[in-house]
Amino acid sequence: MGYKLIGLALAGACGALARYGLAGLFQRAQQIGFPWGTLTVNALGCFLFGLIWTLTQQRLAISPDTRTIVLVGFLGSFTTFSTFLFETDQMLEHAEWIMAGLNLTGQLGLGLAAYLLGSFLGRMA
């Protein structure tokens, strides 16, 4: 149990740092009001979750603890669903209805599509 908790903590720290760096990089590059950094991180995280989950279920023999560390620790910390909801709420508070709608649609639609693509590629590997 100690190995799993330490692994989750370390993977979570790495996921948080990766999210911070990648989301910040995309957001600074765009310099517009739409949260491209969050969208990028969430789509990539959903893709990786689908890919890793499918590969470890069907092709790769790894322990359930290792899979939990990667999916819950790293990817759970890497994706930013709470940030997505906060940013959408901020848009709604500022009556940016179209931006909020685009953010909701983009995050959910692209996230689902990325997950399905990752899962499909995992089955094809």
Count of CB atoms situated within 10 Å of the CB of 119:
21
Q: What pTM value is reported for the model? A: 0.80
pLDDT in tens, 66-93: 999 999 999 999 997 888 998 999 999 9
Residue type, 90: Q
Comparing C-alpha atoms, which of 70, 78, 77, 73 is closest to residue 51? 70
Distances (CA, A) of 122 to 2, 52, 59, 74: 30, 7, 8, 19
One digit per residue, pLDDT tens: the chain, 125 residues? 699 999 999 999 999 999 999 998 988 887 777 888 999 999 999 999 999 998 988 787 888 899 999 999 999 999 978 889 989 999 999 999 999 999 999 999 999 999 999 999 999 98
Q: How far apart are CA 48 and CA 66, in angstroms?
A: 15
